[in-house]
Structure 1
C-alpha cells in the first residue's frame, strides 16, 4: 500500500478496518434513563476539573440501538453526571459499557466516549422495562421501570437528550506519557422522538473493581424516562486542553 493510501485510512487493520467511516445514523434508538441522588463527595472524586458539579445527581442510562449505520445492533450502559463548564450546563459522560467492538473502537478512537466491553441488556419483562449490566460473568446493575405508565412531555424528553455532553479524550504516547489530554464537547443533532414515557423506577448497583458504578451509590430516585428516537451524534470539539502549557513551553502547535 502506497504512503498516500495509508494516510487516507481511518483505522487498522488496513485490510479489515475496525469500523467504517461515518456519519452514523441511529434508527429506533431506545433509552432507559434513571436519574438518582448520590453522595457529593463521591462525585468530587471523579468529576475532572475544570467541570463544576451542579447537584449530587447521576443519570444511569441503558440504550438499545437495533439499527446503526455501519455498526449494526448493540446496547450501551453508562453513568452521566450533570455539570457546568464556563457557565454552560451539560453532562459529563463518566463511563460506558458496550457489547459491540466496532462501536467501542470508533467511540474511543474517532471521538472520546469512555467505552469498555460489557454486557448490557434492555428488555421488557411482563409489565416492566428492565435494564441490566453484566461485566464478565458478574451482575453490576439492575434497573427497573414501570412500562409506559405515563406519557412524558416531548419537550422534557428532548431537553434530556440534547444537553451538551462533555468527555475526556486521553491518548497515551509511546513513552508512557499523555500525548493527548483534552476535554471535548458533543451534542445530539437531528433528533426525532417517536415516544416518551415516565413512571416509577428502581436501581441496584453492585460492587465491582473494574466496573465501579457503585462508587456513585443510589440514595434516592429522582426521575425516570423511557424514550424512543432517531438521531445523529455530532462530531466533538475541544473545549479545554490539559497539556496546553506543556505544549506552549515546548513550542508545539496543536
Structure 2
C-alpha cells in the first residue's frame, strides 16, 4: 500500500475501517432527559477548568438512535453538566455509555466524545418511559418518566438539544504523556423537532467502581423531557489548549456570530 493510499485513511485497521467517513445524520433520535440537582462540591471536582458552573445541575441523558448514517441503530446515555465558557452557556459532556463499537470509535478518535461501552436501553413500559443502563451484569442507572403527559413548545425543546457542547480531547504520545490536551466545542445542527413532552420524572443512580455515575448524586429532580428529533453532528473546534496556555488567552468568543477566533 502506497503512502498516498495510507494517508487517505483516518482509522485502523487500514483494510477494515472501524467507522465510515461521512456526515452523521440521525433520524427519529429519541431523548429522555432528567435534569437534577446534585452536590456542588462533587460537581466542582469533576468539571474541568476553565469551564464555570452556574448551578449544581446535571442532566442524565438517554438517547435511542434507530437510524444513524453509517452507524446503524444503537442506544446511548450519559451525564451532561451545564456550564459557561468565555461568556457562552453550553453543556460539558462528562461521560457517555453506549452499545455500538463504531460509534464509540468515531466519537473518541475523530471527535472528543467521552464514550465507553455499556448496555443502555430506552423503552415504553405501559404508561412509563423507561431508560436503564447496565455496566456488565449490574444496573447502574434507572430513569423513568410519565409517557407523553404534557406537550411542550418545540422551540423550548430545540433550545434544550441545540446548546453548544464542550468536551476534553486527549491523545497520548508514546511516552504516555498527553500529546494533545484541548477543550473543544461543537453544536448539533439541522435540527427538526417532531414531538416534545414533559411530565413527572425520577432517576436512580447506583454505586459502581468503574461506572461511577452516582458520584454526582441525585438530590432533587428538577425537570424531565421526552423529545423526538432529526439532527446532524458537526465537527469539533479547539477553544482551549491545556498544553500551551499562552494560546488560551488569544481565543475569544463572538456572541453575534457564535464563533471562536484567535486574537492578533
What TM-score, normalized to structure 2? Answer: 0.92
Counterpart check, 1:182 vs 2:182: yes
Q: Secondary structure at the match of 1:243?
A: coil
CA distance in structure 1 between the aligned counterparts of 2:98 and 2:122, rounded to whole angstroms: 12
Match of 1:15 in 2: 15
Note the alpha carbon deviations across 1:91-111, whole angstroms, 9 max, x for none: 100000010000000000000
Alignment of 1:226-237 (within 5 A): 226-237=226-237
Per-residue CA distance 1:154-195 (angstroms, 9 max, x = gap): 111011001101000011111010011000001010000000
- Note the C-alpha offset of 1:153: 1.1
Q: Distance in 2 between matches of 1:112 and 1:118?
A: 18
> CA offsets per residue over residues 129-158 of structure 1, 9 Å max, x none?
000000000000000000000001111101
Q: Distance in 2 between matches of 1:58 and 1:223?
A: 11
Unmatched 5+ stretches in structure 1 = 248-254
Aligned pairs (5 A) from 1:149-188 = 149-188=149-188
Distance 2:95 2:101 in 1: 16
The aligned length equals 247
1:238 aligns with 238
In the alignment, the residues of structure 2 paired with residue 137 and residue 90 of structure 1 have an alpha-carbon distance, to the nearest angstrom, of 34
**Secondary structure in 2 matching 1:10:** coil
C-alpha displacement of 1:116? 0.3
Structure 2 counterpart of 1:102: 102
For residue 252 of structure 1, what is the aligned residue in structure 2?
none
**Distance (Å, rounded) in 1 between the aligned partners of 2:88 and 2:211:** 29
- In the alignment, the residues of structure 2 paired with residue 229 and residue 140 of structure 1 have an alpha-carbon distance, to the nearest angstrom, of 27
Give, in angstroms, the shift of residue 124 of structure 1. Answer: 0.3
User: Post-superposition shift, 1:244?
Assistant: 1.0
Output the CA distance in 2 between the equivalents of 1:226 and 1:145.
Answer: 8
Instruction: Please name the residue that 1:82 is paired with.
Output: 82
Gap change, CA 1:245 and 1:155, over 3 Å in 2: closer
Deviation at residue 246 of structure 1 after TM alignment? 9.0
1:118 maps to 118
SS at match of 1:226: strand
Distance 2:22 2:167 in 1: 20
Equivalents in 2 of 1:117, 1:168: separation in Å? Answer: 18
Structure 1's consecutive aligned runs of 4 or more residues displaced over 2 angstroms after TM superposition are none
Structure 2 matches for 1:13-92, cutoff 5 A?
13-92=13-92
Cα separation, 2, equivalents of 1:196 and 1:109: 32
What corresponds to 1:251 in structure 2? Answer: none
Deviations 1:42-66, CA, capped at 9 Å, x for gaps: 1010000000001000000100000
Q: Following the alignment from structure 1 to structure 2, what is the Cα–Cα distance between the partners of residues 152 and 121?
A: 24
